[in-house]
Structure 1
Amino acid sequence: MTDGNPRDHLLSDDHLGRLLARLSVPAMVGMAVMGLYNVVDTIFVGRGVGALAIAGIAVAFPIQILVMSIGQMLGVGAASVISRSLGAGRPERAQVALGNMLFAVTVLSVLITAVGYLRLDELLRLFGATDTILPHAREYMEILLAGTLLHAFAMASNNVIRAEGQARVAMISMLIGAVVNIALDPVFIFGLGWGLAGAAWATVIAKVLAALYVFGYFRSGRTPLSLALRHWRPLRGMMGEIVAIGSSSFVRMAASSVLAVVMNHTLAIHGGDMAIAAFGVINRLLIFMITPLIGLAQGLQPIVGFNHGAGRFDKARRAVRLALASSTAIATAGAALMLAFPTTILGIFSRDRELLAIGVGAVRVVVLTFPLVGIQMVGATLFQAIGRALPALVLSLSRQFIFLLPLLLILPRPWGLNGIWISFPVADLAAVALTLALMVPQLRRFGAARRPA
């Protein structure tokens, strides 16, 4: 992979636009397809089972987010250590990071699965399930919990694979999962008549196949990193570094889980079951819109981490600036589309008039400041890549936990359902202001420390 000389590593490519595209476009495509499968999955459920089934998926979503947040935390943390280790010519340290990541993924996934099966109904009610929604949420999650370990493994490992510069391999893994899921959904939901259970089984099978592909890559000899059990010995220092760096990703996604719980309860109070279903659709669309931004951030991280480790600070700064411009353009295009055709887009998921009335009004407010989301993500990625865990954590917490969550508890009191929607643009404006306050000084420090490439 590398002989220890940063210039010989593919991440040392001096053409930043080409390098960022090579690493981020495959990740963007893979993430977009994953987001598309979430959208298509919801469409099939809405058309094949009904609006309450969509609400059931929305209530079950916090558990799924928790699994993803653990995979992302360990993967992002390990990827940061691995990319910096490769940049510094220390492949043996990269292997130790991978082994510690795999150990933690296994232990935490088994724990989540066990607790999920033992306390499923209590968890779903905690997450906002009403008496009418609970049966749908339970039917879905009883099946989905079976794929927890493989889902977390594939998600974490894809970050590591990208840290090696093999973005195409990670993209194929995500494509396998998404395409298989999309293909099996109509067969299981409509063809076999399994309904919501069919959607869950399609998801589990897709995750199994994606994980098997990742496993095959590590066994193929194309990477110096190994899945061998002898590397799985947890080391306090390494585990601490991985968790500290990846904690910002975990907190950001775990905050999404907490936010979803608060949203479900608040929506139930101010809008009822159909409000939960409407936001369930909108949330899937927002996730789809944000996936290319996640892919761009995933492509940016190894570039910044590698060049920071190699002492090429000016190149790291230029990569961040390029990512900022690209992410803002992508987010603006997505927001414009949603604002132009809200009724048409939401109508694909459901014909329920109450759901559409609530959803269209929400979209026109929630999406207004979406173009700013890319700035927040790039800022957090910058600090993750250079190993500065605290500012990365603060930025990851800012939008959803520091700003949006309190607003959701305050604004609906005087303004009801409209107060819920207004909370989103207010939180975005506050979060981007904080991001710029932390990111701009760091970029200036890069400029002051730069040296000729």
Structure 2
Amino acid sequence: MNDERMETKGILPLLVEFSVPAIIGMLVNAIYNVVDRMFIGNAPNLGAVGIAGITISYPITLVLMAISLMVGVGGATRFSISLGKKEKEKACIYQGNAIILTIIFGLLFTIFGNIFINPILKILGASNTVMPYASDYLSIVLFGAVFQCIAMCGNNFSRAQGNPKNAMISQLIGAGFNILFDYILIMQLHMGMQGAAIATIGGQFLSMIWQLFYLCSNRSLIKLDIEHLKLKYDYALDIIKTGIPAFLMQMANSVLNFILNSTLGRYGGDIAISAVGIITSFQTICQMPLTGLMQGQQPLISYNFGAGKDNRVKETLKYAIIGGTIIATTGFLAVELFPETIIRMFNSEIEVVRLGTKAIRIWFICLPLLGAQIMAANYFQCIGKIKVASILNLLRQVIILIPMILLLSMIIGLDGVFVAVPIADFSAFVITVYLFSKAIKKLSKVVYN
């Protein structure tokens, strides 16, 4: 990362430079969650029950993603702020400690996940019909925990070092392998859920190798040294603390999916779980570009905040919010114009298509507001305001949405689950805009928590 470029180059070109590769990378990353469901949903021996198996397993993969993002985002944020303050040695330590933390957490996740896999799936709502499919998939995916953790952490540091293209290439390599081997293992060799899982962890492994080679090479702005891998309590705590909002957001997703699957199973059975699994897959496609744009704004805001350049922070936010709104509105229009086509991409069973077409339109009513809400909430994490960022990240998915799902489903049944989503989106938007507006007026007085 060139200091002069970060402090003087036009914000819009910088945001495009950092965000476009991240958006492409995140769209590609969405393939990990989506492509398995598309192949499985269209496989003659799997179909809707196979999609239900992945949907039931999804909260576990979200917990792993939460851990990866906690360390990756937390470490990269502290790394960027340190560079902005010209504290290169501290940046080196944050990078090394983040990598070793991801390895430790990934290994623990693999061990404990496999020990308790069946009880966990039961708790998540797997029926006797779905259980074998979910178990076949998750038992293999768990062995890729370390691969995913290191790859995601490396992607965050590639962007923080001013090389977002490297993160994009890493994700393209992994996703390309996943797509190719999904086709080979599921459609040609008929390996079912196990084939989908093998393709997934194979792609994650390649992404990990790519990032490790980059971080340990001379191409890296700050080369990963063995001496910086030694855990230092204060630095590790800073990384975890700063990454808590990202962790909570993904954990909220996991808790939400658990509540969602349980409620859907109660009021609509496996068909409802399959239909909403398709909807959340498309939601991932819509939200990943927003996540990429958010990742693009992070190093710009963190660096310029650390350097005391408040006007550049505000300009970054302005363009990010405009871009996020355009992306979210595009997704909204796609849903309103082609709802049935979207559902049929994953599965063509009549009951799934009928329910999914109805639900997806309700689900995405407030999608155009999501871009601004995500960018504004992420601002607080970029500047180290952990408490506010954590609350705002939890608003949509826990504080508002989960109570709405439980309450409205009891009142109007299955439709209550669908209606709860736009209510939570709108409420979170209003609260976030209020807090963000107050914070921007006091930008020069911001201090770390």
Q: TM-score, normalised by structure 2?
A: 0.96
Aligned to 2:127: 130
Structure 2: unaligned runs, 5 residues or longer: none
Q: Give how far 1:36 is off.
A: 3.4
Aligned partners of 1:282 and 1:187: how far apart in 2? Answer: 26
Residues 329, 160 of structure 1: CA spacing in aligned structure 2 closer, same or farther, 3 A cutoff?
same
Aligned partners of 1:379 and 1:394: how far apart in 2? Answer: 12
Q: Contact 2:32–2:200 at 8 Å: present in 1 too?
A: no
Aligned counterpart for 1:15 among listed residues 10, 33, 40: 10
Aligned to 2:36: 41
Aligned partners of 1:225 and 1:405: how far apart in 2? Answer: 42
Aligned counterpart for 1:24 among listed residues 10, 19, 22: 19
Deviations, residues 82-136 of structure 1 (Å, cap 9, x unaligned)? 1111111111101111122122211211111111111101001111111111110
Aligned counterpart for 1:184 among listed residues 181, 186, 209: 181
- Whether 1:252 aligns to 2:249 is yes
Q: Give how far 1:157 is off.
A: 1.6
Q: Contact 2:40–2:47 at 8 Å: present in 1 too?
A: yes
Q: Contact 2:336–2:361 at 8 Å: present in 1 too?
A: yes
Q: Give how far 1:377 is off.
A: 1.2
Q: Give how far 1:344 is off.
A: 1.2
Aligned to 2:151: 154
- Whether 1:430 aligns to 2:444 is no
Q: Give how far 1:229 is off.
A: 3.1
Aligned length: 444
Q: Contact 1:379–1:395 at 8 Å: present in 2 too?
A: no
1:191-340 aligned at under 5 Å gives the runs 191-340=188-337
Q: Give how far 1:447 is off.
A: 6.9
Aligned partners of 2:231 and 2:376: how far apart in 1? Answer: 30
- For 1:182, the aligned partner's letter is I
- For 1:342, the aligned partner's letter is P
Residues 91, 448 of structure 1: CA spacing in aligned structure 2 closer, same or farther, 3 A cutoff?
closer
Identity between Structure 1 and Structure 2 (%): 36
Q: Contact 1:317–1:447 at 8 Å: present in 2 too?
A: no
Aligned partners of 2:328 and 2:28: how far apart in 1? Answer: 17
Aligned counterpart for 2:78 among listed residues 77, 81, 92: 81
Q: Give how far 1:14 is off.
A: 2.9
1:96-115 aligned at under 5 Å gives the runs 96-115=93-112
Aligned to 2:389: 392
Q: Give how far 1:225 is off.
A: 2.7
Aligned partners of 1:380 and 1:302: how far apart in 2? Answer: 15
Q: Contact 1:103–1:234 at 8 Å: present in 2 too?
A: yes
Aligned to 1:365: 362
Aligned partners of 1:257 and 1:388: how far apart in 2? Answer: 24
Aligned partners of 1:13 and 1:72: how far apart in 2? Answer: 29
Q: TM-score, normalised by structure 1?
A: 0.96
Q: Give how far 1:448 is off.
A: 8.2
Deviations, residues 216-260 of structure 1 (Å, cap 9, x unaligned)? 101221124333332122222212221111100000000100000
- For 2:109, the aligned partner's letter is I
Aligned partners of 2:179 and 2:148: how far apart in 1? Answer: 16
The alignment partner of 1:100 has SS state of helix
Deviations, residues 137-175 of structure 1 (Å, cap 9, x unaligned)? 000011111100010111112111111111010111111
Aligned counterpart for 2:341 among listed residues 327, 341, 344: 344
Segment drifting more, 307-316 vs 343-352 = 343-352
- For 2:123, the aligned partner's letter is L
Aligned partners of 2:77 and 2:197: how far apart in 1? Answer: 33
Residues 448, 84 of structure 1: CA spacing in aligned structure 2 closer, same or farther, 3 A cutoff?
closer
Q: Give how far 1:266 is off.
A: 0.2
Q: Contact 1:314–1:446 at 8 Å: present in 2 too?
A: no
Aligned partners of 1:145 and 1:185: how far apart in 2? Answer: 17
Aligned partners of 1:36 and 1:100: how far apart in 2? Answer: 29
The alignment partner of 1:193 has SS state of coil
Segment drifting more, 69-78 vs 36-45 = 36-45
Deviations, residues 180-233 of structure 1 (Å, cap 9, x unaligned)? 111111101121121111111100111111100001101221124333332122
Residues 266, 216 of structure 1: CA spacing in aligned structure 2 closer, same or farther, 3 A cutoff?
same
Q: Contact 2:93–2:228 at 8 Å: present in 1 too?
A: yes
Residues 350, 445 of structure 1: CA spacing in aligned structure 2 closer, same or farther, 3 A cutoff?
same
Residues 413, 136 of structure 1: CA spacing in aligned structure 2 closer, same or farther, 3 A cutoff?
same
The alignment partner of 1:177 has SS state of helix
Structure 1 moving runs of 4+ over 6 Å: none
Aligned counterpart for 1:166 among listed residues 163, 167, 172: 163
Deviations, residues 401-424 of structure 1 (Å, cap 9, x unaligned)? 110011111110011011000000
RMSD: 1.3
Residues 106, 448 of structure 1: CA spacing in aligned structure 2 closer, same or farther, 3 A cutoff?
closer
Q: Contact 1:28–1:296 at 8 Å: present in 2 too?
A: yes
Aligned partners of 1:420 and 1:448: how far apart in 2? Answer: 42
Q: Give how far 1:446 is off.
A: 2.9
1:439-450 aligned at under 5 Å gives the runs 439-446=436-443
Q: Contact 2:148–2:204 at 8 Å: present in 1 too?
A: yes
Q: Contact 1:37–1:179 at 8 Å: present in 2 too?
A: no
Residues 448, 69 of structure 1: CA spacing in aligned structure 2 closer, same or farther, 3 A cutoff?
closer
- For 1:132, the aligned partner's letter is T
Aligned partners of 1:305 and 1:57: how far apart in 2? Answer: 36
